[in-house]
């Protein structure tokens, strides 16, 4: 039998984003983004404590750190740094976002209200040099994550697997849901490198001390045109995803 998460839902929902009409989510086009992903194995049992019951942890259990600089969006440029735990919703792998930091107040508010990103406003950077790519985030001047890729080597875009996101949110009436966010990527260039990852504050970014780094898996960076599309699926976080998933339908237009 597959294992399920043991997250205390009531505690997690206290700080979850509040999302209104999921059928009215906007569509953002965001060209020329610089993106970075690092996959890293983590301690197995502890990670179950931050995973909702609807989801199954990966085997081996690993996180997928994801950072992006978006120079062109409907709210202007912004950088978003995310801590995600790789899970299965049914049979499909997803990145359950534990927490995120965004460097734009306007983007932070929009990401929370429209797509349920558990983002807070803070310092977030993605910097690219010829020999390394570095991403970091800080909250109130306190570093919470630092990630680097060194010795980049060009690879094909078909070799990449950027996971779709799942976000725990509160809907009208205090209903709890996991919403799926599935950007598209038109990849222009990609590199694989040697990853490093540091978590100076293990309580931050929704990790609650449960994420204990074990060993690196892989890391890559890529340039792409991407988007944030309307939410298509919502999942009951307390039931297995194969039973509790519903497809959202946009209201009919005249």
Taking alpha carbons only, the member of 225, 130, 172, 152 closest to residue 23 is 172
Q: Residue 253 — pLDDT band, cuts 50, 70, 90?
A: very low
- Please say whether the beta carbons of 177 and 185 come within 8 A: no
In this prediction, residue 149 carries a pLDDT of 97
DSSP for residue 18: B
> How much is the pLDDT for 250?
58
Task: Output the pTM of the full model.
Answer: 0.95
User: How many Cβ atoms from other residues are within 10 Å of residue 196's Cβ?
Assistant: 16
Tell me the average pLDDT across 169-173.
Answer: 91
The model's confidence at residue 2, banded by pLDDT at 50, 70 and 90, is confident
* Closest CA relative to residue 231, chosen from 113, 58, 120: 113
To the nearest whole percent, how much of the chain has pLDDT over 70? 97
Coil, strand or helix: which one is 173? helix
What average pLDDT does the chain have?
93
What pLDDT digit, counting tens, does each position of 175-217 carry? 899 999 999 999 999 999 999 999 999 999 999 999 999 999 9
| Distance from C-alpha of 216 to C-alpha of 214, rounded to nearest angstrom | 7
Which of 16, 113, 94 has the alpha carbon at shortest distance from 56? 94
Domains and CATH numbers, the chain: 9-247 (2.40.400.10)
pLDDT at 45: 84
**Contact between 217 and 61 (Cβ < 8 Å):** no
Q: How far apart are CA 134 and CA 195, in angstroms?
A: 10
Burial class (CB in 10 A: 0-12, 13-18, 19+), 176: buried
Could you tell me which residue, 173 or 204, shows the higher pLDDT?
204
pLDDT at position 252, please?
Answer: 43
70-120, pLDDT tens digit by residue? 999 999 999 999 999 999 998 889 999 999 999 999 999 999 999 999 999
Mean pLDDT of all residues in 54-81 = 96
Task: List residues bridging with 101 in a β-sheet.
Answer: 81, 120
- Whether residue 60 is preceded by a cis peptide bond, meaning omega within 30 degrees of 0, is yes
Q: How far apart are CA 223 and CA 157, in angstroms?
A: 10
Q: Is the peptide bond before 40 cis (omega within 30 degrees of 0)?
A: no
């Amino acid at each position: 039998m597959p294992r399920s998460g043991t997250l205390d839902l009531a505690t997690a929902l206290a700080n979850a984003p509040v999302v209104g009409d999921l059928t009215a989510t906007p569509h953002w086009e965001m060209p020329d983004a610089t993106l970075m992903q690092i996959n890293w194995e983590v301690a197995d049992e502890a990670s179950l404590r931050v995973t909702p019951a609807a989801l199954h942890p990966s085997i081996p259990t690993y996180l997928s750190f994801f950072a992006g600089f978006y120079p062109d969006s409907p709210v202007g440029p912004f950088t978003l740094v995310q801590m995600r735990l790789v899970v299965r919703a049914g049979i499909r792998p997803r990145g359950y976002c534990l927490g995120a930091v965004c460097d734009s107040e306007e983007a932070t508010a929009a990401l929370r209200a429209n797509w349920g990103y558990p983002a807070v406003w803070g310092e977030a950077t993605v910097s690219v040099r010829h020999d390394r790519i570095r991403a970091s985030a800080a909250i109130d001047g306190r570093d919470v994550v630092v990630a680097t890729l060194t010795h980049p080597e060009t690879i094909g875009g078909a070799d990449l697997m950027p996971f779709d996101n799942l976000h725990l949110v509160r809907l009208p009436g205090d209903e709890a849901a996991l919403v799926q966010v599935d950007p598209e990527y038109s990849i222009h260039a990609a590199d694989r490198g040697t990853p490093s990852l540091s978590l100076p504050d293990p309580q931050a970014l929704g990790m609650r001390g449960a994420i204990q780094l074990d060993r690196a898996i892989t890391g890559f960076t890529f340039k792409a045109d991407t988007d944030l599309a309307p939410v298509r699926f919502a999942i009951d976080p307390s039931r297995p995803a194969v039973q509790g998933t519903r497809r959202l339908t946009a209201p009919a237009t005249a």
